[in-house]
Amino acid sequence: MTRVNIHTAKTHLSRLIETECAGDEGDEIVISRGDVTVVRLVPIAQVPRRRAFGAMRGRASIDDRFFEPLPEDELAAWER
């Protein structure tokens, strides 16, 4: 566990975040006010990859039924 005071955390926040994101899960950074621990710096889970344009190309197909009019009961359900 690495303990830093608030002033040091404000001055070196970017470095602390980089260290915490690159570090092992067992090592944590805590920010203290005097001798009292007030905050624990913890990385969040990795952000999922963004969707790529054309990622579904070749995986789905549309036949002629897609362009047919909807049945009356289903159309009525959409128009409520």
Domain residue spans of the chain: 2-41
pTM beyond 0.85: no
**11 pLDDT higher than 90:** yes
CA 39, CA 29: separation in Å to the nearest integer? 9
Judged on CB neighbours under 10 Å (0-12, 13-18, 19+), 41 is: middle
| Residue range 2-41 in CATH 3.40.1620 | yes
pLDDT digit string, tens, across residues 16-61: 998 888 876 667 899 999 989 999 998 887 777 788 888 888 998 8
The Cα angle at residue 36 between residues 31 and 37, in degrees rounded to 5: 35
Q: Is 68 helix (H, G, I), strand (E, B) or coil?
A: coil
